[in-house]
A = this chain, B = another copy of it.
Amino acid sequence: MSNTEGTSPPRGAIPRDTIFVGIKPVMAYATAVMMSFAPGVNELTLKARGNAISRAVDVAEVVDRRFFSGKLAKKITIGTEVLGEGGDQRNVSTIEIKLQRPPQ
């Protein structure tokens, strides 16, 4: 609900098959996705929160249309994260877009 962009990953280890979408241009993330789709990697997850959610959708759409002719499977879930502590708590929406490569 707040406008906080999801620039920094949450605490803990970042899984190798996850790409956090923040304030960089769409093509930066699209390139990261294509680099991560190494041989044997068939599934990747885009994560974003706040205003960056729209950009994560852009990334998924660009990758799907430009490199997979619209054949990428996309499984989407949304949620809410509580940011801040004490009196400064606020809710921010999140999105997870699981991209699954079509069988070759």
Contact = CB atoms under 8 A, between A and B. Distances in A.
Contact of A61 (B1, B52, B54): B1
A88 B95 CA distance: 30
A98 to B, nearest CB: 11
Nearest to A78: B57
Nearest to A54: B53
A50 to B, nearest CB: 7
Given A1-B26, A26-B1, A79 B61 contact: yes
A77 B80 contact: no
A57 B16 CA distance: 26
A60 B78 contact: yes
A28 to B, nearest CB: 13
A61 B76 contact: no
Contacts of A26: 1
Interface of A: 1, 26, 50-54, 57-58, 60-62, 65, 74, 76-80, 91, 93, 95, 97
